Amino acid sequence: MTRRVGWTLAGAVPLAFLGVFFAWPVATLVARGFFPDGAFSLEGFQQVFSEPRTWRVITTTLAQAAAGTVMSVLLGVPGAWVLYRTRFPGRWLVRAIVTIPFVLPSVVVGVAFKSLVISTGPLGHLGLDQSFAIIVASLVFFNYALVVRTVGALWASLDPRTEQAASVLGASPARVFLTVTLPALAPAIFSAAALVFLFCASAYGVVMVLGGAGYGTIETEIWFLTAQLLDLGGAAALSIVQLVVVGASLVVANRLQATQARGQRLRTDSSVESPWRLRRDALPTLVTAAVVVGLLLFPISTLVLRSLTTASGLGLDHYRNLATTGGGTLSVPVWDAVGNSLRTATVATLLALALGLLVSLVVSRSPRNELGRRGLGLLDAAFMLPLGVSAVTVGFGFLITLNRPPLDLRSSMILVPIAQAIVALPLVVRVLLPVLRAIDPRLREAAAVLGASPGKVLRDVDLAFVARGLGLATGFAFATSLGEFGATSFLARPDEPTLPVVVFRLIGRPGLENQGMGMAAAVLLAVGCAVVMGLAERMRPEEATTW
């Protein structure tokens, strides 16, 4: 009885947190769209959708998501082959370079690409500033690693004997790929594509930095309606559209990942990696090299160079100015914002780890009855919902719900780390849950037979194994919280901004000093996230997921 109560509480505590700080704000937001004055009405929808601007925003959102997805897949599949099916010196370094962009804060990526296309940038003569093309390029920068790692993980586990049999029967390499390999990779490719579409459709930071006033997506339009026009009904209507788009993407991704998991159980333990060969691997290697150098390294290196460029040449003036308010541009010095970011990210990480550990322990159980298994499946799905709801929607929901007793948190700084913890929680669960599910149940049974109490089994078996994934989970949670911009841009107080908010403010102001300080702050933020994720990757357990 005590054991059942313990497991019930372990599931109830994080579920209550999710209900209060996620389900309630989002549900209130949806209700605001359908019940603007306390009675059911579609007037808000009719007003919003009668505007040509709204349809232009929706079309732009879907177009940028589709273009970003197609380009990420086309460029990512060759990268998956090179990095997961061939061996060559320095492969670990290339994998690390490919992975880092995925965890960089969106505002940093926006600033990096902005440094390329402004009038004084290396690509300024092309006129790409505030263009569709540069935004799509930044989205591919973000999501290339997701495709490479998702497809590469399955590709590395495929049984090579099927391909070998097709070759023996006379099929050319191209035909083997099209008729054998590509169908086997299809679940991973489509799963990655669904997730990339989700992330592209809900992109906020890069669009805010790169798009300018004339470019809008659903995410930025929600911000515009809320912060500039105070049109909460219109913003709620667009938020519902956003929920439908990202929710559908998440459902598709989850179903395809289940298909991929069933396929992976058929794999063999033999290694399918082979030494790099010029004749076979030249084309995918050239594509991968072009992406790594031209799309991944070029923007970041340009950002670093621009942060060092002063009116008198190269120097550290912009970094020294981080101790100031930029001539009154900011309400606090940048280093104060760094401190705010570190404090909020630490609190958010602790919250996400505690809740994610409880959720993972509960969901990893194996009930004997069908009802119990379905219940745990629903619990798992519930904690993935924040992954399918944009941070802007969460931040907006906080504004209209947590503003009155008994939870009036408008003036409390705890609101920001709570929002960041909601965003990071699904990532923590996705890291810890595979580790717990990989535990051989016979270990628990053996410990129980030897007289260990349920609490001791939990401590000596489950927690001992899950400790292997805590480093990676901590890295994901901290890096995500440190760079979170969507919800934080709604919630951060003017006198206590976080570093991403400060970067956005500086880049949005004219003048060499403001631009230079913004780029220096962006480099600082990028280095912090990269170092955190680099340390976390070294502690990655084999059972952890690829995204």
What is the per-residue DSSP string for 345-366?
HHHHHHHHHHHHHHHHHHHT--
Multiple choice CATH, 314-370+409-541, 1.10.3720.10, 3.10.450.230, 1.10.150.120, 3.30.70.100: 1.10.3720.10
pLDDT bin (cut points 50, 70, 90) of residue 85 is confident
Query: Which has the closest alpha carbon to 204: 500, 546, 514, 477?
Result: 500
pLDDT reported for residue 67: 95
pLDDT at residue 218 tops 80: yes
pLDDT reported for residue 267: 47
CA distance 489 to 392: 8
pLDDT at residue 269 tops 50: no
Helix (H, G, I), strand (E, B) or coil at 374: helix
Count Cβ atoms below 10 Å from residue 8 Cβ, excluding itself: 11
pLDDT at residue 89 tops 60: yes
Query: What are the b/e assignments for 183-192, b being 16+ CB within 10 Å?
Result: ebbbbbbbbb
Instruction: Specify the range with the lowest mean pLDDT, choosing from 112-126, 346-360, 379-393, 419-433.
Output: 379-393
Return the axis-axis angle of helices 106-117 and 499-507, rounded to nearest 10°. Answer: 20
- pLDDT one-digit tens code per residue, 42-60: 777 777 788 888 888 888 8
Q: What percent of the chain has pLDDT over 90?
A: 20
Length of the chain: 547
pLDDT at residue 385 tops 60: yes
Instruction: Specify the range with the lowest mean pLDDT, choosing from 50-59, 160-169, 483-492.
Output: 160-169
pLDDT reported for residue 96: 79
DSSP per residue, 225-280: IIIIS--HHHHHHHHHHHHHHHHHHHHHHHHHHHHHHHHHTT--SS---EE--HHH
- Token pair 């669009």 in the structure block, residue: 207
pLDDT at residue 328 tops 70: yes
CA distance 516 to 321: 9
Higher pLDDT, 250 or 320: 320
Kind plus residue range of the DSSP H or E element containing 275: strand 274-275
- pLDDT one-digit tens code per residue, 429-465: 888 888 887 777 777 778 777 777 777 877 777 777 7
* Phi–psi pair at 310, nearest 5 degrees: -120, 180
Pairing relationship of beta strands 86-87 and 309-310 according to DSSP bridges: unpaired
Asked if the domains 52-217+272-303 and 314-370+409-541 are classified in one and the same CATH topology, the answer is: yes
pLDDT at residue 162 tops 80: no
Kind plus residue range of the DSSP H or E element containing 134: helix 132-155
Q: How far is CA 68 from CA 144, 147, 169, in A?
A: 9, 12, 38
By the 8 A CB rule, do 176 and 167 touch?
A: yes
By the 8 A CB rule, do 256 and 194 touch?
A: yes
As a dihedral over the C-alpha atoms of residue 83, residue 88, residue 94, residue 99, rounded to 10 degrees, the angle is 30
The pTM assigned to this predicted structure is 0.81
- Token pair 């949806």 in the structure block, residue: 30
Q: Which residues contact 211 (CB under 8 A, 6 or more apart)?
A: 130, 135, 217, 220
pLDDT reported for residue 265: 41
pLDDT, averaged across the chain = 82
pLDDT at residue 83 tops 70: yes
Q: How far is CA 519 from CA 111, 142, 308, in A?
A: 7, 18, 9
The rounded Cα 451 to chain-centroid distance in angstroms is 44
Asked if the peptide bond before residue 406 counts as cis, ω within 30 degrees of 0, the response is yes
CATH of domain 52-217+272-303: 1.10.3720.10
pLDDT at residue 156 tops 60: yes
pLDDT at residue 169 tops 50: yes
pLDDT reported for residue 266: 41
- pLDDT one-digit tens code per residue, 403-428: 777 777 777 788 899 999 998 998 89
pLDDT reported for residue 254: 63
Domain assignments of the chain as residue spans, ordered by start: 52-217+272-303, 314-370+409-541
- pLDDT one-digit tens code per residue, 470-484: 888 898 899 889 988
pLDDT at residue 103 tops 80: no
> Mean pLDDT, to the nearest integer, of 209-220?
79
Q: What percent of the chain has pLDDT over 70?
A: 92
Give bridge partners of residue 404 from the DSSP assignment: 407
Range picked from 180-194, 213-227, 296-310, 381-395 for highest mean pLDDT: 296-310
- pLDDT one-digit tens code per residue, 273-322: 778 888 888 899 999 999 999 999 999 999 999 899 888 888 899 999 99
pLDDT reported for residue 539: 66
Instruction: Specify the range with the lowest mean pLDDT, choosing from 79-93, 258-272, 394-408, 484-498.
Output: 258-272
pLDDT at residue 91 tops 50: yes
Give bridge partners of residue 38 from the DSSP assignment: none
Using only C-alpha atoms, the chain has a radius of gyration, in whole angstroms, of 24
Q: Please state whether 212 falls in left (phi above 0), alpha (psi between -120 and 50) or beta.
A: left
pLDDT reported for residue 125: 87
94 is written with which tokens?
Answer: 């290339």
Tell me which amino acid residue 290 is: A
DSSP per residue, 85-118: HEE-TTHHHHHHHHHHHHHS-HHHHHHHHHHHHS
DSSP single-letter state for residue 332: S
